[in-house]
Amino acid sequence: MKKNNWPLIILVSLFSAGFALLFAPKSGKELRKDLQNKANETKDSVKTSTNNLKEDFKDAYFEAEQEVENELAHLDERQRELRQTISSIEEELNH
C-alpha cells in the first residue's frame, strides 16, 4: 500500500499559496473591493433587467388588452350589422 506523504502535500500547498500571494496583481483588500464592486454591478444589472422585463410585460399586456377591446368592439359592430341584415330579410319575407 502506498503511504500518503502529508508533510510534503502541506509544504507544497503552503508554497503554492505563498507564491500566488507574492505574485498576485492586487492586494487582498483591493481584490475584495473589486469583487464587491463586480457583485454590486451584477446585482444592479440583474435589477435593471428585471425592471425592464417587468415594464415590457406591462406594455405587452396593455397592448393585448387594447387589441382585445378593439376586437370586441368590432365584433359588437359586426353583430349589430348582422342583426340589421336579419331584420331586413325577415321584413322582406313577411311582405
Q: Is the whole model's pTM more than 0.85, yes or no? A: no
What is the 8-class DSSP label of residue 83?
Answer: H
- DSSP annotation of 26 reads S
- Beta carbons of 58 and 51 less than 8 angstroms apart: no
Mean pLDDT along residues 25-38: 76
Model confidence at 31: pLDDT above 90: no
Give the model's confidence band at 33: pLDDT under 50 very low, under 70 low, under 90 confident, else very high: confident
24 or 1: which leads in pLDDT: 24
How confident is the model over 2-10, as a mean pLDDT? 68
* Domain range list for the chain: 28-94
CA distance 28 to 59: 46
